[in-house]
């Protein structure tokens, strides 16, 4: 078995967990005082981003345009708060810029644009990630590059026809250098997921993916599943992440309408204290 | 509700309902009217693509849960299911943001709906800069796209008064209708006796024949505000509101233009392919040549931010209107 562009064999789970906590701290700092934000999704996907940027992916913040870097595509553009947090933590963005998230004229807008250092695609119109990831995987292979492509998308994006067209493309063109991370957090804009998207893992398998299904907030499970996805065996890989919106802050986890969490200016400090307390 | 001290300096949340300074508003005129109409017309069904809360259709869902369908975030499917429902006798009102239904479902609107004169009524939310989420969410070329489809009716209402009439009127307009929807607290701007008539532009203000403004959507209300501001300076501006973009009231526009020396054309859309293009085409064809100032968006992609910030930055705010009247540029 040849591993392409391989990451270290043994993940340092404790250090990855510490990274995830730091991402959550950064996101709370970005959202606080703004009354609201996509904080629940950010907290939910933090573990996955920590595992990718600080373990699995080969990348170099000093050379964001390195041709052989592994690509990460955040298809769910409104998860931008998480993207900016991880890019800052990895060294692509200036940490001091984070509080400007969502503010008029900020370089860190509510939806992601590929003009931001480290951001690969324009997000916001959902269902755009996977197809572009397939194209990148095909192009990198043509160039003989060892780079791999990682693409996050959400359970809501499984509603879009484009996602399934792209999934078939990934199998048709045998994109074994592609790993998709499907954030099944159970919610979308109007509330709980109501479209018959399940069984997601079986569907991905039927569409030709080598599929794993894990607790997306379990760091060891993340590192293990990512490790299994390295093999160049002719199949695209999918990891179905079962995540909890607001993970790490019980009060937000308990929110029923978590797509757009509204928080009073006086409540942020208590929530941040909760995060610290939970992870003490 | 949380403290919203920082409201004006950031991108607003999707479902946020904001007060509009100095304006009387009405909450959810689209959804409340549709719920009422649904009681009278059992053939009406309501659909959304995971944008129920954000398109104001929830009053219809609550009143008629058995006739409401959320197809999920699947705009192409939304339009196809609506077309299917219409082909077995339903009138299908469907909702999402204008940007997603136009850009993603264009082929389906053209063929499954318009080509068959399907009874599909698309209420397309937060057009133009009403959406603060940047280019991905801002329908700034939807009028241009939609006017390219034959047999489609296009309406860009000014305010709550007109929107409520449109919700009822479209049920009896044959075929597919695209309406630029206004959500949340929608200003009441037009006089109580205003009557929406399909395909008829309406003179909202008679001027002294110097400057005539031709506008659509909520920009007509801004035009009225601007006209009031400059009144005391001796500018008496006429205003023609083009509520129906297609079929376009060429006759009304040409007549109005002929009564003025110069024109201002204003829309919540790019200045290419929308109202300004339609007006100029009509005038040129009729041999009417006169100075025109266009207020609208450049042919570009736009950034994220609050509505006030974006309107100022991209020069479609009230001061821009006043300048166009005062300085003729
Ligand atoms: C093509 C498209 N249609 C509609 C929307 C509006 N929208 C924004 S978020 C969202 C929900 C999508 O589901 P998911 O990503 O699972 O939501 P979350 O888990 O963040 O609640 C919708 C419909 C969009 N951004 N893009
Ligand atoms: Mg979701």
CATH number at residue A153: 3.40.50.970
Report residue A9's pLDDT band, with 50, 70 and 90 as the boundaries.
confident
- Among B14, B70, B136, the residue with its CB nearest the CB of A194 is B70
State whether the beta carbon of A154 lies less than 6 angstroms from ligand 1.
yes
pLDDT computed for residue B249 by the predictor = 98
Share of chain B above pLDDT 70, in %: 98
Asked if A169 and A142 touch (Cβ cutoff 8 Å), the reply is no
Q: Would the CA dihedral through B260, B266, B267, B273 be positive or negative?
A: positive
* pLDDT exceeds cutoff 70 at A148: yes
Assigned domain for A241 exists: yes
For residue B11, the chain A residues in CB contact (below 8 A) are: 102, 104, 109-110
State whether the beta carbon of A185 lies less than 6 angstroms from ligand 1.
yes
Secondary-structure class of domain B202-327 per CATH: alpha beta
Domain interval for residue A244: 13-278
Topology of B2-187 in CATH? Rossmann fold (3.40.50)
CA distance B274 to B139: 12
pLDDT computed for residue A35 by the predictor = 66
Q: Which range has the worst mean pLDDT, A41-45, A124-128, A257-261, B81-85?
A: A257-261
Helix, strand, coil shares of chain A, percent, nearest 5, are 40, 15, 45
pLDDT computed for residue A1 by the predictor = 40
CA distance A64 to B262: 53
pLDDT computed for residue A261 by the predictor = 82
Which portions of chain B are predicted below pLDDT 70?
A: 1-7
Supply the DSSP symbol for A103: B
pLDDT digits (tens, 9 = 90+) for B228-277: 999 999 999 999 999 999 999 999 999 999 999 999 999 999 999 999 99
Assigned domain for A48 exists: yes
pLDDT computed for residue B246 by the predictor = 98
Q: Which of B73, B81, B101, B301 to mutate to test the interface with A (most CBs of A within 10 A)?
A: B73
Assigned domain for A3 exists: no
Q: How many domains does chain A have?
A: 1
Q: Which range has the worst mean pLDDT, A74-83, A96-105, A254-263?
A: A254-263
Please judge whether B309 and A105 are an interchain contact, meaning their C-beta atoms are less than 8 angstroms apart: yes
For residue B10, the chain A residues in CB contact (below 8 A) are: 34, 102-104
Beta bridge partners of B133: B304
- Among A36, A111, A190, the residue with its CB nearest the CB of B2 is A36
Instruction: Name the nearest CA neighbour of A73 among A130, A125, A124, A27.
Output: A130
Q: How far is the CA of B96 from the centre of ligand 2 (A)?
A: 17
pLDDT digits (tens, 9 = 90+) for A177-205: 999 999 999 999 999 999 999 999 999 99
Share of chain A above pLDDT 70, in %: 97
Assigned domain for A1 exists: no
Closest CA in chain A for residue B312: A104
- Among A103, A124, A189, the residue with its CB nearest the CB of B133 is A124
For residue B304, the chain A residues in CB contact (below 8 A) are: 102, 109-111
Assigned domain for A25 exists: yes
Assigned domain for A117 exists: yes
Residues of chain B with CATH 3.40.50.920: 202-327
pLDDT computed for residue B5 by the predictor = 39
Q: Which two tokens stand for residue A177?
A: 């250098």
Q: Which two tokens stand for residue B321?
A: 């209107």
Assigned domain for A2 exists: no
pLDDT computed for residue A263 by the predictor = 82
Assigned domain for A6 exists: no
* pLDDT exceeds cutoff 70 at A2: no
CA distance A105 to A80: 16
pLDDT computed for residue A4 by the predictor = 56
pLDDT computed for residue A37 by the predictor = 77
For chain A, give the mean pLDDT. 94
Mean pLDDT of A79-83: 97
Q: Max alpha carbon distance in chain B (Å)?
A: 58
């Amino acid at each position: 078995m040849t591993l392409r562009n391989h990451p270290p064999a043994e993940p340092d789970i404790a250090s990855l967990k510490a990274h995830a906590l730091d991402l959550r701290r950064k996101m709370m700092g970005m959202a606080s005082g703004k009354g609201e934000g996509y904080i629940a999704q950010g907290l939910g996907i933090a573990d996955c981003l920590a595992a990718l940027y600080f373990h699995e992916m080969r990348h170099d913040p000093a050379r964001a345009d390195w041709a052989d870097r592994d690509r990460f595509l955040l298809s769910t553009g409104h998860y931008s708060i998480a993207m900016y947090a991880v890019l800052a933590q990895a060294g692509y963005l200036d940490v001091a810029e984070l509080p400007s998230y969502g503010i008029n004229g900020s370089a860190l807008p509510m939806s992601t644009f590929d003009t931001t250092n480290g951001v690969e695609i324009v997000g916001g119109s959902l269902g755009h990630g996977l197809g572009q990831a397939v194209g990148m995987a095909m192009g990198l292979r043509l160039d003989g590059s060892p780079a791999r492509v990682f693409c996050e998308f959400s359970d809501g994006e499984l509603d879009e026809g484009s996602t399934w067209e792209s999934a078939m493309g990934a199998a048709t063109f045998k994109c074994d250098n592609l790993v998709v991370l499907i954030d099944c957090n159970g919610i979308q804009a109007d509330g709980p997921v109501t479209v018959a998207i399940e069984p997601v893992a079986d569907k991905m398998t039927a569409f030709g993916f080598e599929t794993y299904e894990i607790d997306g907030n379990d760091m060891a499970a993340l590192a293990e599943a990512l490790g299994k996805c390295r093999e160049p065996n002719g199949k695209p890989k999918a990891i179905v992440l079962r995540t909890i919106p607001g993970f790490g802050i019980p009060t937000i986890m308990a929110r029923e309408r978590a797509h757009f969490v509204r928080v009073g200016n006086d409540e942020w400090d208590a929530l941040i204290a909760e995060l610290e307390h939970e992870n003490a | 509700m949380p403290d919203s001290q920082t409201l004006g300096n950031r991108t607003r949340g999707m479902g946020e309902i904001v007060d509009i300074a100095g304006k009387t508003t009405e909450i959810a005129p689209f959804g409340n009217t549709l719920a009422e109409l649904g009681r009278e017309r059992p053939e009406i069904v309501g659909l959304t693509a995971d944008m129920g809360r954000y398109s104001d259709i929830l009053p219809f869902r609550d009143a008629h849960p058995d006739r409401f369908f959320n197809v999920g975030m699947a705009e192409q499917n939304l339009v196809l299911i609506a077309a299917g429902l219409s082909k077995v006798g339903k009138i299908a009102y469907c909702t999402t943001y204008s940007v997603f239904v136009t850009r993603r479902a264009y082929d389906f609107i053209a063929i499954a709906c318009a080509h068959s004169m399907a009874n599909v009524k698309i209420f397309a939310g937060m057009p133009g800069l009403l959406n603060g989420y940047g280019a991905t969410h801002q329908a700034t070329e939807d009028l241009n796209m939609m006017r390219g489809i034959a047999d489609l009716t296009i309406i860009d209402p000014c305010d709550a008064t007109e929107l409520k009439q449109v919700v009822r009127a479209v049920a009896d307009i044959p075929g597919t209708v695209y309406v630029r929807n206004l959500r949340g607290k929608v200003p009441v701007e037009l006089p109580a006796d205003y009557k929406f008539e399909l395909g008829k532009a309406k003179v909202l203000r008679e001027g002294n024949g110097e400057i005539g403004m031709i506008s659509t959507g909520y920009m007509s209300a801004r035009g009225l505000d601007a006209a009031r501001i400059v009144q005391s300076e001796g500018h008496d501006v006429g205003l023609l509101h083009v509520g129906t973009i297609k079929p376009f009231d060429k006759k009304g526009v040409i007549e109005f233009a002929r009564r003025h020396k110069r024109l201002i054309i204003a829309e919540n859309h790019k200045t290419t392919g929308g109202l300004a293009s339609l007006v100029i085409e009509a005038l040129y064809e009729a041999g009417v040549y006169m100075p025109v100032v266009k207020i609208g968006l450049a042919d570009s992609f736009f950034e994220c931010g609050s509505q006030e910030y974006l309107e100022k930055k991209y020069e479609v705010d009230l001061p821009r209107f006043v300048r166009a009247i005062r300085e003729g540029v």
